[in-house]
Structure 1
Amino acid sequence: MRISEISADQPGLIDLQRAAYHVEAEIIGDDRIPPLHETPEEVRALPLTWLGAFGDDGDLLGAVAWEETADEVDLDRLMVDPGAHRRGVGRALVKEVMARAGARRVVVSTGRGNTPARALYERLGFTLTGESEPVPGLWVVHYAS
């Protein structure tokens, strides 16, 4: 697996995002996850830095995007192709962002019922910092490392 910087124009990125967030929507029983419904134009307009994980055949297996300040890195989204689950793609992407963050705090949020994502963040040393309900009935948990 190769990890490299990409842009929001990366071929396959929007399809990857929809597939990944469709899985999360099924897990949490709610499809009101904003990235599930973003258009390519909306994704390109976001002020995010992107990394992609590529297989030996050059296929995009996963991607991560974040915003950062001098004090904090906010993991905005982590996406893994459903066919590449349980192969270390998400872990490798998050670890790369954590390495780039240096001493800065890294924060991330996910659906409260998204047990696989929560387990990944907890295994990587993230601590639960709270939860919120951005829209009625859609609960999100917040982590920091």
Structure 2
Amino acid sequence: MEKDNNLDVRVPMIKIIDISNRKNAEDLLNVQIPSYKVEAEIIGSYEIPPLKDTVYTLQHCDETFFGYYENKQLCGAISIKVIDDEVDIHRLIVHPNHFRKGIAQLLLNFIGNKFRLETIKVSTGSKNAPAVSFYNKNGFQNIKEVMVNKQLSIILFEKKL
């Protein structure tokens, strides 16, 4: 248990996830799959690539992962790739048991503060109203919409810093 000022207060924290560690990759999948199942329900398509991830695919995706932990339990995570002066967010996930606690906002703020680059990019399902609203609220601009198939389209967002 993390303590703050000798009080019996559990301090949440964000730290890098060593995805090469199998247990960490399993913990991440245990957050990612339920999180993306909720998105799949919202957008009406289960053809979301992260729903097909395995420990192996996570360990070989070349993304950097940061996790939000409470009491040493992973509750949410964000993954990025940094290319030149851009941060590309590949995943921003929160376990459904921890929805509406501000965890996604904390993770997004963490990336914005840690990587002070020119641009942050992210995409989400066009029908995922909560995510679209979240990115709009955080100053992201809708760059374009891409049709994946008849049922699925994604919105590409960008935020200039």
TM norm. shorter chain > 0.5: yes
Q: Which runs of 4+ in 1 moved over 3 A?
A: none
Residue 121 of structure 1 aligns to a residue in which SS? helix
TM-score, normalisation: structure 2: 0.85
Q: Does the CA-based 8 Å contact 1:78-1:90 persist in structure 2?
A: yes
- Deviation of the 1:58 alpha carbon: 1.6
Question: Are 1:83 and 2:97 counterparts?
Answer: yes
Matched, 1:38 2:56: no
- RMSD (Å), alpha carbons: 1.2
Residue type at the aligned position of 2:135: Y
State TM-score, norm by structure 1: 0.94
Q: CA deviation at 1:106?
A: 0.2
Aligned counterpart for 1:4 among listed residues 7, 10, 15: 15
Letter aligned with residue 30 of structure 1: S
Q: Given the alignment of the two structures, is residue 130 of structure 1 paired with residue 141 of structure 2, yes or no? A: no
Q: Identity over aligned residues, as a percent?
A: 31
> Per-residue displacement from partner, 1:45-88 (whole Å, max 9, x unpaired)?
00101100011x22111000011112211000111010110100
Kindly provide the CA deviation profile for residues 15-73 of structure 1, in whole angstroms up to 9, marking residues without a partner as x.
11101100100111100000011111011100101100011x22111000011112211
Q: How far did residue 99 of structure 1 move?
A: 1.5
Q: State whether residues 87 and 117 of structure 2, in contact with CA within 8 Å, keep that contact through their aligned partners in structure 1.
A: no
Contact 2:44 2:151 in 1 (8 A): no
Structure 2 residue aligned with 1:54:
69
Q: How many pairs does the alignment contain?
A: 144
Query: Is the contact between residue 70 and residue 104 of structure 1 (CA under 8 Å) also seen in structure 2?
Result: no
